[in-house]
Structure formats: structure tokens, C-alpha cells
């Protein structure tokens, strides 16, 4: 407990939660504003001066005293826990922001475009099964994440939980894995947005112009701070959710009544050409596409450090967001399978995996003979990819800042300005978005296939690490003498849900290895293509392993023993036993329908 005692010398009782006023460290008030904003509320200054000053470094932004690793090769995990627990990021996100952030980070190209390739490879039954299985895995994962995030709403939560509960080397690997995922997604989504414009005016020379417009828009939103990001995601996600609901209603009408000149469809396409394509291998080929479509759901946990009341809003957001996404996704893929044949040539005719012309949503509306709505759907796809790009800067910048606070990234990225923005990290993420200008070049497809390979399985590793961290947390909680009644919120699936989630993530990795080594239709390709395809499908695995092994030996990190797991730093709830007891007493008088509703929502 050396680092913890240095920061909180008089507070060693693990049953006491500290407030900023009880320490010698100036922290961001948990209510929301930065230290700078609180000091300057009564001072009237010109707008230009306030704007300029807001980008200057907050002198109280870093809570780390001394060095976590310093010149020593050993790693001080306790000091890292203090750094992430007392993050100066401002708490301005409300419950509605939190819910829409998770939806906004998920509904994008994976659903609107990626399902087309999955449908072609596996058939309608395969994508329905894949989305149901991955959806169940995500349910277990986000419940585990919610339980930990309520107790420890720390910055860079995924990597921080792995560092604290498992091994700092794994936290380092998971942090950089998640960082690379979002750094790569940003240019990919900007390119996707520019490609959607080609639907109306195909001209590759104009792609660079559209890239510049979208890039500047996304960067500006994030530079206005977390509140602007939350409001933008609320608007973007409202449009997307409305569009998906509208499509589900329209698709149901088309299926039952048919479009102009059409008739009842039902499950005709499940019979001819069939429900499955390429058998079991076709089913396995759809798992990664389904996982990519759900990627971003975990952002709700990353935003915990910037949420006004994590204990109240996180459980509600996690449960409601999952069920909304699961409903939208499963209902959508079910309809798509009844409205579009899996052997429709347009599903694989796009110039890339981000080409809206290959979207089964657009194709199904075209098949119905409706003239205007395909353009409307394409506009929704453009908004969706912009939303995911917006989330990419948020996710990458917060992860990079948290890694820097733990001295697992260059210290310059610890720069937090007076508005609570991780400015250096935001600027790096924004600059890497400039890779999107390759959209106007002839190497566009090749370049972005390799960029996508860097993050292809990142979400699987992230979700697996969350489940494993939760398993370790629950075991340490029991070993150190705590009871489940002392948890701020209990995961409905418990520790067994995390075992199921971790196992399913491992099975997805196995399925991806098989389909990467022996892809569908591999007999039609030469050896060089097969080798290239395997590395593009599985490149994430050796990169994550390299990060883990190198850091493990360089920092000489050790696997954290259960009795040594830090269950104190970052616990911000006061009188937790009393609050939980009052809430449970209230729940005892709920009718059965309300208990069921609260369990699900």
C-alpha cells in the first residue's frame, strides 16, 4: 500500500470513502466542473480570453506524485490505481447521454453495411444465430462491466480493471489494443462517410473534399468538450434509432404486403435459395461481423469517469442500452434475411466493406420498388458512420490519457486542460484521422483492409478482459472478507455470466482462426491470397501478445494475488450499506411486473 499511503497518509481504513477535501491533493470536484472553472466562476473576462485560457493545462490535472515506474523497471500498480481513480475529467454526462453514447458507438457500418457481407457468406439463418449468440455474450459482458464501473468509476476503465485485478502487463496490452481499435476506426468511418456520398454523385476526386468536411466536423465536436460530445451523440443516435425503428416497420409491411408490384414474401428466401450458405463454416464466418456490429457498446463503461452519478445512471443505462440494441439488431437482421436473397450480387459488389451500395437495408428498399427511401437510408448511414467516428476520438483520447496517467504511454498525453479535456490525446486521435484522405487515392481498399486488420478482433479481447477482470474482482471481494450486499450494484448474471462471456469470446477467436486459415471458398484462391487473408483476419492476436510479453519482461510485472487486489482506491460511495439496504427494502414491496421490468430495464 506504499503509493496509496503516500497520497492518502491518514486514510488506510478500507471501509472509508474519501472526498477531495480530505486529501492533500487538489482534485476535480465530483460534481462536474474542473478546479479552474470553480475558481473563476465569479470573474468576468472577455470571451476570447476565456476560450484561450480553457486550453491551458490545469495545474491540478495530474494527481500522480512522483513516478509510477520512474527509472525503475518495476511497476507500481497502487500508484496507477490512484491516478485513474482520481481522474480530473469533468463529470458532465447525464443518463440520457450515457445511453445514447453506447447506442451511437454501436449502430453504424457493422449493422447497416457489414450485415450484407455476413448475409452473403452465411445466409439468413446464420446471421440471425450469430447476432443472437453475440448479443447474449454482450449481455453478460456489459453486466459485469456495470458492476465494476459502479464501484470503481475510474478513467480508462477496461485497461485499469485488468491492471488492478489481473496483471499490469495485461492492462497495458488491453489499453493499447483498445486504443488502436479506435484510432483505426476514425479514418475508416470518415472514409465510409465519404463513400456514401458516391451513392448520389460517384466521383473519387471529390472524396478528399468530403473527407475534409467530415474530419473537421468530428474534430470540432470533440474539442468543445465532453458535454458537446454527449449532446452530439444524443442527436446522432436519435436519428439512427428513429431510422432503424422506421425500417423495422417498413420492412414488416414489405414482407407481409409487398411493395409496388410485389406480393407476400414471408420466409420465401429462407427456402430458396436457403436459410444457410456454406454450412457451419458460413455460420462461423458471420461471428466476427456480428461482433464488429456490437463494438462500442462498452463505451458506456469508459464514460463512467465523466458521469454525474455513476451509481444511479450506469445500471439503468447498461440494461436499457443492451435491450434496445439487441431489439434493433435482431429484428433488423431477421427482416433483412426475409427481404434480400443471400446470393444477390449487390451484397458483394461494393468497392469496399464500407460501400453503402452493398447495404442490405438499401437493397431491400430498392427491391420493393420504393424510389425515395433508398436515398433517405443512405443519408442515415452517413450520419451513423459520422457518429461512430465521433465516438472513436472520444474512446481513443480517454484511453490514451488513462494509459499516460499510469505511465503506460508518453507523459505528454496526461495533459488535461482547464475544461477537463485530454487535449494532447484528442489532438493525436484527430491527426491520425487524416489517414482518411487516402479515400481519394487508388490504394484506398488495400490500405484500409490492413488498417482494419489491426483492430479486427480488438473488441473480442476487450470483452474477454472485462469478463476475466470481473471474475477476479468477485473472487478477491470474497477472499478479502466482503459480502455481495456491500456491492453498489450486483450484476444480474453474476460471476457465472462472466465465465460464459469469457468462454464465448474464446470460441469466437477459435472460429475466426479457422475461417481465417481456411476461408469460405478458399479453393478458388492461390496460396499468397490465403496467407494474406489469414494475417488480415488474425493480425490483432500476435500484436496483443507482443504488447503483453514485452511489457511483462520490461516492467517485471507480477500476476496480482487475490489478497493483494486493491479494492479500496476509487470507491466513491458514502454509507453504501445504508443506501443498499434502503433500496432493497423498497424493492421488496414492488409488484412482480415491476421486478421483472427492473431486471430487464
Q: How many domains does the chain have?
A: 2
Shared-domain flag, residues 355 and 438: yes
What is the Cα–Cα distance from 394 to 396, expressed in whole angstroms?
Answer: 6
pLDDT of residue 205: 67
**Would you say residue 52 has pLDDT above 70?**
no
Beta bridge partners of 93: 307
Q: 562-577: per-residue pLDDT in tens?
A: 999 988 877 665 455 6
* Higher pLDDT among residues 18 and 90, named by residue: 90
Q: Which residues contact 364 (CB under 8 A, 6 or more apart)?
A: 251, 254, 335, 336, 339, 340
Q: Which residue has the higher pLDDT, 261 or 450?
A: 450
Residue 435 is assigned to a structural domain of this protein = yes
pLDDT of residue 289: 83
pLDDT above 60: residue 185: yes
pLDDT of residue 499: 96
The verdict on residue 212 lying in a domain is yes
15-22: average pLDDT:
39
Residues 173-198 have a mean pLDDT of 85
- What average pLDDT score do residues 214-242 get? 84
Question: Model-level pTM greater than 0.75?
Answer: yes
pLDDT-above-70 percentage for the chain: 72
Q: Residue 301 falls within a domain, yes or no?
A: yes
Given a cut of 70, is residue 111 above it in pLDDT?
yes
The mean pLDDT value for 318-342 works out to 84
Which has more confidence, 509 or 72?
509
pLDDT classification of 305: cutoffs 50, 70, 90: low
CA distance 451 to 432: 12
Shared domain check, 502 and 584: no
pLDDT at 92 over 70: no
Max mean pLDDT among 448-457, 480-489, 592-601 falls in 480-489
Whether residue 354 has pLDDT greater than 80: no
553 plus 587 within the same structural domain: no
Angle at 105 between CA 133 and CA 290, to 5 degrees: 25
The three-class DSSP label of residue 390 is helix
pLDDT of residue 31: 41
Clarify whether residues 211 and 110 are in a common domain. yes
Q: Is the pLDDT of residue 357 over 90?
A: no
Percent of the chain with pLDDT over 90: 20
Q: Is there a single domain that holds both residue 588 and residue 512?
A: no
* Pair (464, 588) in one structural domain: no
Residue 585: domain span: 576-601
Q: Are residues 539 and 598 in the same domain?
A: no
The C-alpha angle with vertex 111 and arms to 107 and 117, in degrees rounded to 5, equals: 160
Residue 529 lies in a domain: no
Helix (H) or strand (E) holding 402: helix 373-405
Residues 581 and 545 in one domain: no
pLDDT of 390 reads 84
Local structure of 178: helix, strand or coil = helix
| pLDDT tops 50 at residue 361 | yes
- 474, 586: one domain: no
CB 31 within 8 A of CB 308: yes
Task: Quick: pLDDT tens for 420-444.
Answer: 788 889 999 999 888 888 766 666 6
Contact 223, 421 (CB under 8 A): yes
The average pLDDT across 371-400 equals: 85
Q: d(Cα 130, Cα 122) in Å, to the nearest integer?
A: 10
Judged by phi (left if over 0) then psi (alpha if -120 to 50, else beta), residue 328 lies in alpha
Q: Is the pLDDT of residue 171 over 80?
A: yes
Find out whether 425 and 396 touch, Cβ atoms under 8 Å.
yes
Give the whole-angstrom CA distance, residue 116 versus residue 353: 9
Q: Any idea which of 47-56, 269-278, 297-306, 309-318 has the lowest mean pLDDT?
A: 47-56
Residue 385 lies in a domain: yes
- Asked whether residue 156 falls in the same domain as residue 210, the answer is yes
N- to C-terminal Cα separation, the chain: 39
Does 128 have pLDDT greater than 90? Answer: yes
> pLDDT tens-digit profile of 438-467?
766 666 667 767 777 777 788 899 999 999
| DSSP code per residue over 413-481 | GG--BTTS--HHHHHHHHHHGGGGGGGGSTTHHHHHHHHHHHTTTHHHHHHHHHHHHHHHHHHHHHHTT
CATH number of the domain enclosing 380: 1.20.1740.10
582 and 516 in one domain? no
Task: Look at residues 69, 64, 68 and name the one whose alpha carbon lies nearest to residue 88.
Answer: 64
Report residue 136 as a C-alpha cell.
447474449
Q: Do 555 and 581 share a domain, yes or no?
A: no
Amino acid at each position: 500500500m506504499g503509493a496509496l499511503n503516500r497520497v492518502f497518509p491518514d486514510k488506510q481504513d478500507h471501509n472509508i470513502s474519501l472526498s477531495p477535501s480530505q486529501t492533500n491533493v487538489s482534485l476535480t470536484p465530483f460534481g462536474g466542473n474542473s478546479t479552474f472553472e470553480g475558481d473563476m466562476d465569479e470573474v468576468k473576462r472577455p470571451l476570447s480570453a476565456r476560450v484561450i485560457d480553457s486550453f491551458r493545462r490545469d495545474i491540478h490535472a495530474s494527481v500522480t506524485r512522483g513516478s509510477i515506474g520512474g527509472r525503475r523497471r518495476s511497476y507500481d500498480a497502487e500508484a496507477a490505481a490512484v491516478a485513474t481513480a482520481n481522474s480530473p475529467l469533468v463529470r458532465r454526462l447525464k443518463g440520457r447521454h450515457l445511453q445514447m453514447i453506447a447506442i451511437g458507438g454501436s449502430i453504424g457500418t457493422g449493422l447497416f453495411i457489414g450485415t450484407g457481407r455476413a448475409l452473403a457468406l452465411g445466409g439468413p439463418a446464420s446471421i440471425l444465430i450469430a447476432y443472437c449468440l453475440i448479443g447474449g455474450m454482450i449481455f453478460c459482458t456489459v453486466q459485469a462491466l456495470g458492476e465494476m464501473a459502479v464501484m470503481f468509476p475510474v478513467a480508462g476503465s477496461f485497461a485499469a480493471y485488468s491492471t488492478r485485478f489481473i496483471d499490469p502487463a495485461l492492462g497495458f496490452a488491453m489499453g493499447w489494443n483498445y486504443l488502436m481499435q479506435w484510432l483505426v476506426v476514425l479514418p475508416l468511418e470518415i472514409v465510409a462517410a465519404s463513400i456514401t456520398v458516391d451513392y448520389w454523385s460517384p466521383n473519387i476526386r471529390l472524396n478528399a473534399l468530403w473527407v475534409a468536411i467530415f474530419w473537421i466536423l468530428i474534430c470540432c465536436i470533440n474539442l468543445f468538450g465532453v458535454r458537446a460530445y454527449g449532446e452530439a451523440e444524443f442527436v446522432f443516435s436519435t436519428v439512427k434509432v428513429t431510422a432503424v425503428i422506421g425500417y423495422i416497420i417498413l420492412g414488416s409491411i414489405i414482407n407481409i404486403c409487398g411493395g409496388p408490384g410485389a406480393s407476400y414474401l414471408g420466409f420465401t428466401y429462407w427456402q430458396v435459395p436457403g436459410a444457410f450458405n456454406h454450412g457451419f463454416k458460413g455460420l462461423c464466418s458471420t461471428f466476427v461481423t456480428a461482433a464488429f456490429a456490437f463494438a462500442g457498446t462498452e463505451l458506456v463503461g469508459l464514460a463512467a469517469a465523466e458521469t454525474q452519478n455513476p451509481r444511479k445512471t450506469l445500471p439503468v443505462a447498461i440494461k436499457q442500452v443492451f435491450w434496445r440494441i439487441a431489439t434493433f439488431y435482431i429484428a433488423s437482421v431477421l427482416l433483412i434475411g426475409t427481404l434480400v436473397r443471400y446470393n444477390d450480387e449487390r451484397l458483394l459488389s461494393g468497392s469496399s466493406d464500407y460501400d453503402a451500395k452493398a447495404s442490405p437495408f438499401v437493397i431491400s428498399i430498392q427491391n420493393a420498388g420504393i424510389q425515395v427511401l433508398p436515398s433517405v437510408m443512405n443519408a442515415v448511414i452517413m450520419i451513423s458512420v459520422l457518429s461512430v467516428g465521433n465516438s472513436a476520438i472520444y474512446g481513443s483520447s480517454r484511453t490514451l490519457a488513462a494509459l499516460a496517467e499510469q505511465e503506460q504511454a508518453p507523459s505528454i498525453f496526461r495533459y488535461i486542460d482547464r475544461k477537463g479535456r485530454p487535449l494532447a490525446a484528442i489532438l493525436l486521435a484527430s491527426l491520425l484521422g487524416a489517414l482518411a484522405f487516402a479515400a481519394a487515392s487508388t490504394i484506398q481498399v488495400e490500405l484500409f483492409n490492413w488498417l482494419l486488420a489491426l483492430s479486427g478482433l480488438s473488441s473480442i479481447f476487450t470483452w474477454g478482459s472485462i469478463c476475466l477482470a470481473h471474475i477476479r474482482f468477485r473472487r478477491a471481494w470474497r477472499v478479502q472478507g466482503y459480502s455481495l450486499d456491500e456491492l453498489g450494484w450486483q450484476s444480474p448474471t453474476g460471476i457465472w455470466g462472466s465465465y460464459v462471456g469469457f468462454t464465448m469470446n474464446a470460441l469466437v477467436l477459435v472460429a475466426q482462426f479457422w475461417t481465417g486459415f481456411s476461408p469460405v471458398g478458399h479453393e478458388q484462391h492461390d496460396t499468397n491470397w490465403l496467407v494474406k487473408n489469414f494475417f488480415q483476419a488474425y493480425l490483432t492476436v500476435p500484436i496483443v501478445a507482443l504488447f503483453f510479453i514485452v511489457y511483462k519482461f520490461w516492467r517485471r510485472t507480477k500476476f496480482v494475488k487475490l489478497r493483494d487486489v486493491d479494492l479500496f482506491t476509487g470507491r466513491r460511495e458514502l454509507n453504501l450499506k445504508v443506501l443498499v439496504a434502503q433500496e432493497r427494502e423498497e424493492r421488496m414491496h414492488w409488484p412482480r411486473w415491476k421486478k421483472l421490468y427492473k431486471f430487464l430495464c
